[in-house]
Structure 1
Amino acid sequence: MKLIKLKEVIEITCLTKATIYRMIKEGTFPKQLSLGDRAVAWVEKEVFNWVEERIAARDECK
């Protein structure tokens, strides 16, 4: 399992920091994992799965 920081999540998804945290609050994006008092990361596979779900949803509309 690989953990990634916010910068990588932004690069993978092309979302802004504000959008990512809003979507987490809405329950539509994978939650971050606390690594300590001021450090968080995401499970890379969960972020890629989220992207793949967006692709699948797009392809269903065709």
Structure 2
Amino acid sequence: MTQQVKSELIKIKDVMNMTTFSRNTVYKLIGSGEFPRQLKVGAGSYWRRKEVEQWLDDLMPATDEQVQVASEQAAKAARKKVH
């Protein structure tokens, strides 16, 4: 594997596609320390693809019920911030 592939940076739209989360959910998870932090490059925000992939791999052992609970908690937190 080349160094370029190991350190590939991706934008928020790529993160959203990989996780199926909204932009707000991604940033809420970052704020709570549950998701890899973005890197600021100039005015842009980027993530290391490898870190996002590892985060997703770490979720794989979770049961469907655990994923549902986490999704509901994220949605509840998002609604609290809006109101």
Q: Give the TM bin, normalised by the shorter chain.
A: 0.7 to 0.9
Counterpart of 1:5 in structure 2 is 11
The structure with the greater share of residues assigned to helix is 2
TM-score normalised over the length of structure 1: 0.88
**Greater Cα radius of gyration, structure 1 or 2:** 2
Q: Deviations over 1:23-58 (max 9, x none)?
A: 00000000000001x201000000000100110233
Q: Which has the higher contact order (CA 8 A, sep 6+)?
A: 1
Give the paired residue count: 59
Counterpart of 2:46 in structure 1 is 41
Q: Where does structure 2 lack aligned partners over 5 or more consecutive residues? A: 1-6, 67-83
Identity between Structure 1 and Structure 2 (%): 36
The 2-side partners of 1:7 and 1:22 are apart by: 16
TM-score normalised over the length of structure 2: 0.66
Q: Where does structure 1 lack aligned partners over 5 or more consecutive residues? A: none
Counterpart of 1:26 in structure 2 is 32
RMSD: 1.6
